[in-house]
Structure 1
Amino acid sequence: MSTPFTADAIEAIKRHMNDDHAEDALIIVRAFGGRPEATSAVTSDVDAEAIEFTVDGGERVRVPWGEPINERAQVRKAVVRLYREACGKLGVPARGEH
């Protein structure tokens, strides 16, 4: 697991995901993390290859970006893409598409 991000950047990404996008993380985990019955997902790490979640308070699940990410600005786009694809896979409306 390589990371182009500083420790501070990783902490900021995790904090933003956990404070503002916890429900989105759960949808991503249900669709792409192999845990369709998960009840909680906390963003626990991010690197060039994947975003990692702690699911239901224990198991760590990595969801690949699909392509390596080299800049912090790419994380947002990658998360939005994963979220939208996960909504489509699960058949749930994405925010703003209700």
Structure 2
Amino acid sequence: MADPITPQVSDRICKHMNEDHADAVALYARVYGDTPAATQAEMQSIDPEGMTLMVQVDGTATPVRIQFDHVLQDSEDAHQTLIAMVKQARQQPQK
């Protein structure tokens, strides 16, 4: 079984996403965070119910909360869910 989503695991996931997948985080903000004008986003935290992003829109930083479609069981579930979300978001027409 993978790690439960503790604050330490949240920090690890956020660091990885922000450093290696910044384009995916911005895509989450545009598609799931209802901020189509987002130019940049940083994942601040992740928990079993959702993720909190700090989103740049017109030079202003705005916190955005995105709920998951299910309660995450552990870090592996988070990994698979984030991958599925980015794949689905990439299939959406961009505004």
TM-score by length of 1: 0.83
Deviations 1:4-53 (A, max 9, x none): 52221111011000011100111111111110010000000101111111
Amino-acid identity (%): 24
Checking the alignment, whether the CA contact within 8 Å between 1:31 and 1:90 is kept in structure 2 is no
Partner of 1:32: 32
For residues 58-97 of structure 1, the aligned pairs below 5 Å read: 58-90=61-93
Larger proportion of strand: 2
- Aligned pairs for 1:1-80 within 5 A: 4-56=4-56, 58-80=61-83
Separation of aligned partners in 1, 2:82 and 2:47: 12
Unpaired stretches in structure 1, ≥5 consecutive residues: 92-98
Distance in 1 (alpha carbons) for counterparts of 2:32 and 2:83 = 14
Confirm or deny: 8 A CA contact 1:65 1:82 kept in the other structure.
no
Task: Give the Cα–Cα distance (whole angstroms) in 2 for the partners of residues 13 and 54 of structure 1.
Answer: 15
CA RMSD of aligned residues (A): 1.3
Deviation at 1:58, TM superposition (A): 2.0
Quote the offset at 1:87 in angstroms. 0.8
The secondary structure found in structure 2 opposite 1:61 is: strand
Aligned residues: 88
